[in-house]
Structure 1
Amino acid sequence: MTFFRTLFISCSLFSSALLFGQQSDSVQIRQFFNEALLRGKSHEDLRSLCKDIGARITGSAQAQMAVEWGKRKMEEYGFDKVTLQPVTVPHWERGTKEVAWFQTASNQVVQLDILALGGSIGTNGLLKAEVIQFNHLDELKKASKAQVQGKIVFLNQPMNPADIVTFTAYGGCYAIRGQGAVEAAKLGAVGVVIRSLAMPEDQHPHTGSMYYETGIAKIPAGALSTKSSNLLAEAIQKGKTQLIFEMDCRDYPDVQSFNVVGELKGSSKSGEIITIGGHLDSWDTGEGAHDDGAGIVHCLEAIRILKQLKIQPVHTIRVVFFMNEENGNKGGQGYAKWAKDNNEKQVAAIESDRGGFTPHGFECDGPDNYLKLIQSFRSLLLPYGLYHFEKGYGGVDISPLKEAYKGIPLFGFVPDSQRYFDFHHAPSDVFESVNKRELELGCASMAAFVYLLDKGL
């Protein structure tokens, strides 16, 4: 009987300790949310990044000013260590404002909303040619050279509105942007325009990276707004249509920029590091508010909250504001190489790069034991609307760590996705498009997740 009594007492003590730990964590997480919602700095910090600095395309003066802004903010909030990690990045500029029209057989002329795709060459003056429409990249690939030679290709593939997760819809038609110019040039096209990768029907064209291939002619590539795409499609359906557009974009030599790196030192002497971050660069239209100013602020504010509440983590928490996610990922690649070359012990990474909308949870790109770990957080985080803890994607910036550190778990912050592609890479991605309360909830969610992950690893 003594044995069973001892066992019962031991189990009771263990259960009590576990319950006490959960209650303690619950109280702590509530404090994170109170700090973010009642005394938070995130909304003003995002305003400053968007309005005082502006759009931050890699290689621009604004990108350099953003680096200085990030370093200053980390120092202002008392991060334990703040450094700039040099990284060589591409430099592409849009030039003068793009313009476009279509002209019908009856000489009707209609102006269109257009943006050059990132990395495109210019048109060298007005480019005018008959336009031919394809509704999917696969249709273009099946076309003959005789159909396409000397024409401008119009890829009019919409994002699928039936996809509940809009990132799935985005992935379904990303290829028209990334590969459209190459496939059109193979058939002798003189230019390509695509339907913007966007959910709503509006007048905002959406830019984003496109690519050329060695040995394939480079042709100008632009994106039309969804409303302009509909107008052009209607005109083509009625008869032969000319497209006229001008873009003045060009490449410049690579330049030096920086990842901004700040730390909250851990209590362990093991030197193990959890990296969290987002990308500091943005496209040159709008202000990069959701993509990825919100992600930058999520991470900045999360560490400010932990410091403000005097939380000392076990692991060192390192915040990285990555440079050049949008058109090269040189910041992410450079950081992973730098960490490996310095024999750092990277044990996990978290990225926020899906906008500043209402938080739903986190995804895990890594072994199943890490997925089970974050699923154990659900009961503590469910009162704050966080329920999504599933297999998924971490992020572009942290993805190179998978090659440098085999088996490392990557985690991606998951907010509501329904409105993200209203603003993604568009002139409408401005500070005013971000809801203050949703942003603050995201910051507190990041602080809570970092806190629990640090304890659980």
Structure 2
Amino acid sequence: MKKYIFLIILLISISVSSQTDQEILKKIYTQSLTNGKSYHWLNHLSNQIGSRLSGSLGAERAVAYTKEELDKLGLDKVWLQPVMVPRWVRGAKEYAFIETSPGKTTTVNICALGGSIATPALGLKANVVEVKNFEDLEALGKDKIEGKIVFYNRPMQADLINTFAAYGGCVNQRYKGAVEASKYGAIGVIVRSMNLRLDDLPHTGSMTYADTSIDKRIPSAAISTNDAELLSTMLKLNSSIKLYFKQSCKQLKDVQSYNVIGQITGSEYPNEYMIVGGHLDSWDLGDGSHDDGAGVVQSMDVLRLLKASGIKPKRSIRVVLFMNEENGLRGGKKYAEVAKQKGENHVFALESDSGGFTPRGFSFDCNDASFNQVLSWKPLFKLYLIHYFEKGGSGADVGPLKTDSNVLAGLRPDSQRYFDHHHASNDTFDAINKRELELGAATMTALVYLFDKYGINPISNQETIKD
């Protein structure tokens, strides 16, 4: 019986090795679009578990669920990697209003930023100072800011096609806004949500107090884009209006959580590691379907699709589901730390953390020789309308693995709708398109297959690609 099993495996291996790269990619895409598991996994992760903020019960349940599902795939090894993570809790729903005169108020939509302290128990009410950037704070000075609430109202730049560039151009007001405003005596901070459209949904996200002493820390919240527009207009009409907001969030002691890791051991170079991953944690307002449930299930499906397509990797392929990307990056740092301690050679790492929308291509953090190799594969992806192959960033969790010789990559889906959902209560499963999600999983698998087959050296030193 064992001889027959061995013969079947041998025949499958011979069949795969005789196929062209175009035929292998076709098989991968067909498997994902007709027999994919990513949508099924995400349905459970989003609708049965829900939000997965680091240190929460949801995060704990997500660890258990994804490990169980990876165990079912028949991988060579599945394990949990311990990591200590911060535990911040939101508490009761936040409340805010604009007061134009005593007793005359207009309710607005806010949410506490992750890591913020609470307001006093009865809330906080003060006059408001609107600014666009930190330079505005300096220009106004302490005399005009002390005792007031600073309102950061710099929108994402709408004419940038790369919405992540637009996000990067204004996110510092969210992350460091409280630190900078407290230097001038502000007693609170309100930040325009990082969102390109006008709606009533406040978007949370991480913020820092850096080395600000505990007694100088001030509460920080996001306000919806519609309400940011309203507040700005009302300030222009009457600069003496006041804003009231109340939030009851708190930072608790760190707790232990885990990265979830599964591995297919390489047949020829088992000590060369290639990883694919996303972050298992999410913010608490929605269920984290796009950020980053999509990346988690796509990464899980990469290993399943390799097996289902009859591909036996030369190198060891790992899926890593990182914990705590949103408010600490502890999972990514821990994985890199352990890899360094063990002397593991990570030649390639691919991250999906840009939503589950239609894949457009990849960005690469690598040397020119490796990038030129990638460009030679572009015709294989063009058949699937995948055209974006550019040098640039990869992903926050795989970033700590960077060396002078390896390749880091990030999946780049269409980003035009991503920030409508990012860190908001509408980041939910109903915003996921099954086909788009499965196309992303297949696209990631195809890139992993090619890098495993040809390595990260220039093509001239490798076997010829089979078109």
- The question of a shared fold, defined as TM-score above 0.5 by the shorter chain, is answered with yes
After TM superposition, give the deviation of residue 124 of structure 1 in Å: 2.0
Task: Indicate which of 129, 133, 148 corresponds to 2:130.
Answer: 133
Please state whether the residue corresponding to 2:92 is helix, strand or coil. coil
Secondary structure of the 1:454 match is helix
CA distance in 2, matches of 1:441, 1:214: 44
For 1:11-410, list aligned pairs within 5 A. 24-105=20-101, 107-125=103-121, 126-216=123-213, 217-239=216-238, 240-402=240-402, 405-410=403-408
Shift of 1:117: 0.3
The verdict on how the C-alpha distance between 1:233 and 1:106 changes in structure 2, with shifts beyond 3 A counting, is farther
Q: In 2, distance between residues paired with 1:193 and 1:391?
A: 35
Matched-pair identity in %: 46
TM-score by length of 1: 0.93
Deviation at 1:289, TM superposition (A): 0.6
- CA distance in 1 between partners of 2:43 and 2:199 (Å): 25
User: 2:202, 2:252 → 1: CA distance?
Assistant: 24
Quote the Cα distance in structure 2 between the aligned partners of 1:36 and 1:237: 54
Shift of 1:164: 0.6
For the 8 Å contact 1:265–1:312, the answer to whether it is kept is no
Is the CA contact 2:66–2:260 (under 8 Å) kept in the aligned structure 1?
Answer: yes
* Offset of residue 433 of structure 1: 0.6
In structure 2, do the counterparts of structure 1 residues 295 and 96 end up closer, same or farther at CA, with 3 Å as the change threshold?
A: same
Kept in 1, the 8 Å contact 2:269–2:316? The answer is: no
SS at match of 1:144: helix
| Separation in structure 2 between the aligned mates of residue 373 and residue 67 of structure 1, nearest angstrom | 36
Amino acid aligned to 2:116: S
C-alpha contact (below 8 Å) 2:270/2:314 kept by paired residues: no
Please tell me the residue identity of whatever aligns with 2:453.
Answer: K
Moved over 3 A (4+): 20-23
State the distance in 2 between where 1:278 and 1:267 align.
Answer: 25
CA displacement at 1:152 relative to structure 2: 0.4
2:417 aligned residue: 419
Unpaired runs of at least 5, structure 1: 1-19
Alignment partners' CA distance in 1, 2:381 and 2:85:
39
- Partners in 1 of 2:444 and 2:407 — Cα distance? 16
TM-score, structure 2 length as denominator? 0.91
Shift of 1:417: 0.8
The letter for the 2-side match of 1:363 is: S
Equivalent position of 2:463 in the other structure: none
Tell me the distance in 2 between the aligned counterparts of 1:180 and 1:259.
31
The letter of the residue matching 2:226 is K
Q: Distance in 1 between matches of 2:269 and 2:446?
A: 23
Distance in structure 2 (CA, Å) of the matches to 1:99 and 1:371? 50
Question: 1:230 deviation in Å?
Answer: 1.0
Helix, strand or coil: the match of 1:353?
coil
**What's the offset of the Cα at 1:343?**
1.3
For the 8 Å contact 2:155–2:192, the answer to whether it is kept is yes
**Which among 439, 442, 445 is matched to residue 441 of structure 1?**
439
Letter matched to residue 267 of structure 2? S
Deviation of residue 21 (structure 1)?
8.5
Offset of residue 264 of structure 1: 1.3
- State whether residues 90 and 254 of structure 1, in contact with CA within 8 Å, keep that contact through their aligned partners in structure 2: yes
What amino acid is the match of 2:149? I
Contact 1:158-1:195 at 8 Å conserved across structures: yes
Q: Cα offset for 1:270? A: 4.7
Question: In structure 1, what is the Cα distance between the partners aligned to 2:74 and 2:355?
Answer: 26
Instruction: Tell me: CA distance 1:124–1:267, structure 2 relative to 1, closer, same or farther (3 Å).
Output: same
Could you tell me which amino acid in structure 1 is paired with residue 415 of structure 2?
S
Q: Say what the alpha-carbon RMSD is for the aligned residues.
A: 1.4
Shift of 1:393: 0.8
Per-residue CA distance 1:28-61 (angstroms, 9 max, x = gap): 1111111111111111111110011100000001
Amino acid paired to 1:449: L
Once the two structures are TM-superposed, the CA of residue 279 in structure 1 deviates from its matched residue by 0.2
SS at match of 2:29: helix
Look up the equivalent residue of 2:409 and give its one-letter code: F
Structure 1: how far apart are the matches of 2:198 and 2:212? 37
SS at match of 1:332: helix
Cα separation, 2, equivalents of 1:456 and 1:137: 48
Measured after TM superposition, the shift of residue 91 of structure 1 is 0.7
Which of 300-309 and 200-209 deviates more?
Answer: 300-309
| 1:172-230, Cα deviation, whole Å (9 max, x unpaired) | 00111011001110000000000000111001100000000324511000000101111
Aligned 8 A contact 2:272 2:346 in 1: yes
Structure 2: unaligned runs, 5 residues or longer: 1-15, 456-467
Q: Distance in 2 between matches of 1:272 and 1:115?
A: 44
- Secondary structure of the structure 1 residue equivalent to 2:399: coil
Q: Deviations over 1:251-308 (max 9, x none)?
A: 1111110000001121114511001100000001101011000001111111111111
Q: Deviations over 1:118-166 (max 9, x none)?
A: 0000002211111111123321233210000000000011001000110
How many Å apart are 1:102 and its aligned residue? 0.7
Q: Distance in 1 between matches of 2:332 and 2:89?
A: 22
1:315 and 1:110, CA in 2 relative to 1: closer, same or farther beyond 3 A? Answer: same
**Paired positions, count:** 436
Deviations 1:299-355 (A, max 9, x none): 111111111122111111010000000011000000001011011111111100000
Counterpart code for 2:164: F
Whole-angstrom distance in 2 between the partners of 1:50 and 1:22: 40
CA gap of 1:392–1:269, structure 2 versus 1, over 3 A, is closer
Asked if the contact 2:270–2:316 (Cα under 8 Å) also holds between the matched residues in 1, the reply is no
Return the offset for 1:86: 0.3
Opposite residue 156 of structure 2, the aligned amino acid is M
